[in-house]
Amino acid sequence: MDRKTTSTGDGRNPAAPPPEFDDVVVWAAWLYYVDEMTQAEIAQHLGVSRASVANYLQDARRSGVVTIRVDGGTLEHVTLSRTLAERFGLASASVVPALPDAPVDDRLGAAAARVLTRSLVPGDIVGVAWGRTILAAARAAEPTSVADLTIVQVSGSSASSADFAPELCTTLLANQLGARCVNLHAPAVLSSRDLKERLLEEPSLKRQFGLIRSATKIAFGVGELGPESTFAKSEMIAAETLAEARRDFDAKGVIIGRMIDHRGAPVASPIEDGIVGISLEDLRRVPYRLCAAGGVKKIEAIRAALAGGYATHFVTDSATAEALLSVP
């Protein structure tokens, strides 16, 4: 049958295809799969109904004009994602391919931004931590039409000049999403518990912490404790104090300035009494907790964070996923 003149079944004949196409089915398939037009746009272009376009596309698959193939690597990452979610009791896990020559923070940040923005609903209050991966997520986030969003900083500000400072991550994400921004105007670490407790009695900070505890979602990373780590370079803690925490307290990782052991339990670190920011207990109370972390150096820290149940949703790379699953 010559489909150039075939009726659509809705009383209308399609426009004649350009000479380079065999028939209207091939033309419709090209417009859909190559030019990425919607079925509604194709229907208008051809002068037929959307139902006719759907029939053309189905005919293209049946006849072999279009062949859909799922890449084996993609299937592997889907399997890794499901296995990770099952192993660590996650609502979901997303695994991106590991690329040796590409910065892992940028790729994980971009993936985390996609996961986070897809989850947003009107009225969400999103807590934002800090670090290179979270900054990359803020930069990669695309504007959204979701109304009444609030982005709130969950950790005090650092004196460091590093570009991954808490207030920058929060401000940038809020600007990208067109959301209200609430920064936490207090140092990340104070010199004593007494000073911290007195500062947190200030009405403005009490309101801010009330907002933090009302967060419906939170995005955070996981840090390791080596001398070249983000935590070390944040200047929140002296190098010798960090070494002491690793040696004397068996600290394995850090989440939003809070150190954890191999089980994910809080570690009584030398700076714990002076930290201004969300507690690990309050972190666990946030309904949707997106953790984005990867890299060989962070395996021990990430495993500890997942064991502690701090994440409900997890974004990582395939090499990290395989390493996390390699230990029974």
What integer pLDDT is reported at residue 272 of this predicted model? 81
Q: Which has the closest alpha carbon to 236: 249, 223, 250? A: 223
Tell me the average confidence (pLDDT) per consecutive run of 10 residues in the chain, 328 residues long. 44 74 86 88 91 92 78 63 94 88 86 94 96 94 93 84 78 95 88 89 92 97 80 69 75 90 88 88 97 94 97 95 90
Tell me the H-state helices in the chain.
24-33, 39-46, 50-63, 72-88, 104-119, 132-140, 166-177, 193-199, 203-212, 230-233, 239-248, 280-285, 299-307, 318-325
- Domains along the sequence of the chain with CATH: 1-68 (1.10.10.60), 72-325 (3.40.50.1360)
Contact 208, 237 (CB under 8 A): no
Reference 119, options 289, 321, 306, 316; nearest CA is 289
Query: What's residue 328's pLDDT?
Result: 76
Q: What is the pLDDT of residue 110?
A: 92
